[in-house]
Amino acid sequence: MAIPRASRVRLIWWLELGLGLELYACAVLALHARGLRATPLLAAPALVIPALVIPALVIPPVFYLLVGLVSLRPFSLRQVLGAAVAMCGFHALLVAATGALYTIPDLLDFGSAVAFALWGSPAVTLLQLTAAPLVFARLRPLLSSPRPARRAQARATPPRRRAEVPGGAAARARDAAWSLPPREPAATMPSVPPLQRVLAVSSSAVAHGVQPVVASPLVLQPVVTPPAPPTPPTRALVRSETGEPMIRISFGRIADQLPVEMFARGREGLHATLRHGVSLLVPRRLLLPYLGEALAPVKWEVVADQFPRDELALSHEEIAGRLPHRSLLLPLDEVVPQIPAELLALSTPAANVYGLEEFPPPFQPHVPPPSETPAVDTRAPAEPAAIALAEPEPPPVSEPREEPEPPAEPEASAEPEGLAEPEPLAEPELFVEPLAPAEPTLPGEEEPSQPERGAEALADRGRTAEARRIIALLAPLMNGLEIGERDGAGTTLVTVVAPTLSEDSVVRTAARVVPFLADARLSDPVAQATLTGAEATIVLTPFGSPGAGGALLVTAVRSRASLAWLERLSRSAAGEARVPAENGGHSSPVGDPAEEMELRATSVPQSVRELAGSLTAFGPVAPTVLRDTAGSLRACLFLPRSLEAMPLAQFARDLYAALEEAEIGQVSSVILRVGAHRLVVRAMDGVPGRAAMLVGGGPIDRPGLARIELDRAATRLGALVRG
């Protein structure tokens, strides 16, 4: 059976005490054996003369009094006197024990030996003066604890509300460690724990039925109050003995901030301490400076004395060290109701709102009947707000459209600029192809399809609606980017292009990549492709499968800055608008089938193996070197074991070939998100021809590092090939 923690603690204390006394005895005997005696033992009877006895009786108490004055905090005369008396008692015991020790080797009578032990040797006396305070310091918690029988008796004692008027109560509470608790009357209500001690309660608080604050030298015990209905927070004024206003906090509200290991009885002790009704007192003046910051911190030192010492397994210093900023955070909902309203009143003048009456309230709520209220789908807006404002009424399809207003014009200066675009964004000039005006219903609320419309028409209309949704999502974020809708490679391209770029170039380049997005040589359709060219960076994000007639979000910016943010933004937008019916199947491989067999794997040089080891951001990758039948290097791959090299090499070769002479300039890299993998196709630096480097990996936690490693690898690989 495991020994309770409190018993272990006490056992250790007693062992330490015994060891200390043993050391004392050894020291005394050692001094005696080495002859460090001031006076021969035969002269001991002379010690009893008053002139010599008086210093022996006066100096230790004075010394202990000084020790008490210096060491006991907070200062209390009663505590100091008590400590001095206790240490004098220990001193007397030590003298008696020392005399007993002397009787053995010198065969003295006990009286002479005690007289000698009292003042016969300065070294021994010094030992006693040192040992007594040390022993007392260690025994102090035990002395402050009641005996088990008393504790049992106390627990069996009926509750008794005791409130004391201000003055002296707090001091007595601090003295709790020095004095034994008052004996309680016999038990009449065994099930209810007793009230041990009241810290401080004002008479007004008692009059208002406020629970008094309780502290016990043994354990924090609850104050039992008759059950009462919940009352609104009261500003009960609690004062300390000096009349200082105090804030009362339920102990249970701050208990979770205390380390459990600080309690001698562990969680058991914590639970016992957490009984309902136990409170702490904190001076109000300490909290006021922080209330403006919506904080109520209190240093541990302020409330430390309100915790029963025998329940603590750690020193106050240790406990304070384990608290954030050595403080407890008091709950504001308990503190604030106890703060007088006058202390919270603001004296600053009200802001001048003169002139408001000139303007009638601009907005009058109109609460339509429930059927009239439009549903707000906050996650699926149907249209850019600018369009809705500029063109509230969509023109009939059959009628020629009037001159469309540039919808972004009114908002351009008020909206924040694009997050991913660091360069200054110009005002959009014209839409390449302005979208249809807003439809009054959201996609989910569209009218039922007409029977005569075919499935293809339905898909087209849904796709257009989804494209509008994407634009709506991106429009306020990418102020200054041109938004349009184009067809490219049989796929609808929803384009968001920086005005400094040619949209035609972007679309044509994107169209080169579209056939590769669902290539069968990839394990999954491409979720996103990022092309970095000499003039632009393009992010392609399919929503729906391009091969199945889905659409593609094409975002193009000039700078690579915040590219990751732009990619994420595009994925979010496309994810919002994803067409669920189109799950993205594979299409046939793109490229010249005649060339598919020309690649063959060759031995990997040691330098390339070392290069593979340098690509740490991609996880473990294995190098593969592929050459054509003529022996020319065509591809160098660094792929995880889970990916097959040959089909990916052919895919990379074809993609790389498709992007030759791209409209946005030479494409230096293509990053593909394929399932959980990220594939990077890029050229080797300074290597002419169609040699490509392909690097793949799983989820990349450090894209910046990955890019740096890629650049280095491309440079080194190019140097190796050229060499």
Q: Which stretch binds other proteins (CB under 8 A): 192-200, 273-281, 369-377, 655-663?
A: 369-377
Binding mask 371-400 for other proteins (x = CB under 8 A): --xx-x-xx-xxxxxx-xx--x--------
H or E stretch covering 609? helix 606-614
361 binds other proteins (CB under 8 A): yes
Taking the complex as a whole, how short is the minimal distance between the CB of residue 573 and other proteins, in angstroms? 8
- Pick from 650, 519, 632: nearest CA to 593: 650
594 binds other proteins (CB under 8 A): no
**Dihedral, CA of residue 30, residue 33, residue 36 and residue 41, to nearest 10:** 130
Taking the complex as a whole, how short is the minimal distance between the CB of residue 240 and other proteins, in angstroms? 24
Taking the complex as a whole, how short is the minimal distance between the CB of residue 368 and other proteins, in angstroms? 8
The residue from 231, 398, 413, 603 that contacts other proteins (CB under 8 A) is: 413
For 570, phi then psi, to 5°, come to -65, -40
The pair of three-digit structure tokens given for residue 11, joined into one six-digit string: 């056992």
Site for other proteins in 441-500 (CB under 8 A): 472-473, 475-477
The residue from 35, 70, 359, 580 that contacts other proteins (CB under 8 A) is: 359
Q: Which is nearer to other proteins, 63 or 290 (CB)?
A: 290
- Pick from 662, 661, 516: nearest CA to 590: 516
Distance CA 677, CA 227 (A): 64
Distances (CA, A) of 716 to 88, 604, 674, 709: 84, 15, 27, 10
Which amino acid does the sequence have at 187?
Answer: A
The C-alpha angle 688, 692, 697, rounded to 5 degrees, equals 155
Site for other proteins in 314-333 (CB under 8 A): 331-333
Residue 195, burial from CB neighbour count under 10 angstroms (0-12, 13-18, 19+): buried
Q: Which stretch binds other proteins (CB under 8 A): 25-33, 277-285, 287-295, 594-602?
A: 287-295
Q: Which is nearer to other proteins, 364 or 398 (CB)?
A: 364
Taking the complex as a whole, how short is the minimal distance between the CB of residue 254 and other proteins, in angstroms? 14
Q: Which is nearer to other proteins, 34 or 366 (CB)?
A: 366
Taking the complex as a whole, how short is the minimal distance between the CB of residue 156 and other proteins, in angstroms? 39
Size of the site for other proteins (CB under 8 A): 64
H or E stretch covering 708? helix 703-722
346 binds other proteins (CB under 8 A): yes
Q: Which is nearer to other proteins, 170 or 467 (CB)?
A: 467
Taking the complex as a whole, how short is the minimal distance between the CB of residue 401 and other proteins, in angstroms? 19
H or E stretch covering 128? helix 122-144
Q: Which is nearer to other proteins, 261 or 423 (CB)?
A: 423
Binding mask 630-659 for other proteins (x = CB under 8 A): ------------------------------
Q: What contacts 455, CB < 8 A, 6 or more positions away?
A: none
Distance CA 236, CA 246 (A): 10
Distance CA 595, CA 107 (A): 114
Long-range contacts formed by 50-54: CB under 8 A, 24+ apart: 52/119, 53/118, 53/119
Q: Which is nearer to other proteins, 417 or 423 (CB)?
A: 417
- Pick from 133, 36, 55, 56: nearest CA to 90: 133
Site for other proteins in 36-75 (CB under 8 A): none
The residue from 341, 455, 594, 630 that contacts other proteins (CB under 8 A) is: 341
H or E stretch covering 469? helix 455-474
Q: Which is nearer to other proteins, 357 or 456 (CB)?
A: 357
Q: Which stretch binds other proteins (CB under 8 A): 311-319, 320-328, 336-344, 524-532?
A: 336-344
419 binds other proteins (CB under 8 A): yes
Site for other proteins in 422-441 (CB under 8 A): 438
Q: Which stretch binds other proteins (CB under 8 A): 101-109, 136-144, 339-347, 588-596?
A: 339-347
CB count in 10 Å sphere of residue 272: 17
Mapped onto helix, strand or coil, the DSSP state of residue 495 is strand
Residues near other proteins (CB under 8 A) are 291-295, 331-333, 336-337, 339, 341, 344-346, 348-356, 358-367, 373-374, 376, 378-379, 381-386, 388-389, 392, 410-411, 413-417, 419, 438, 472-473, 475-477, 572, 576
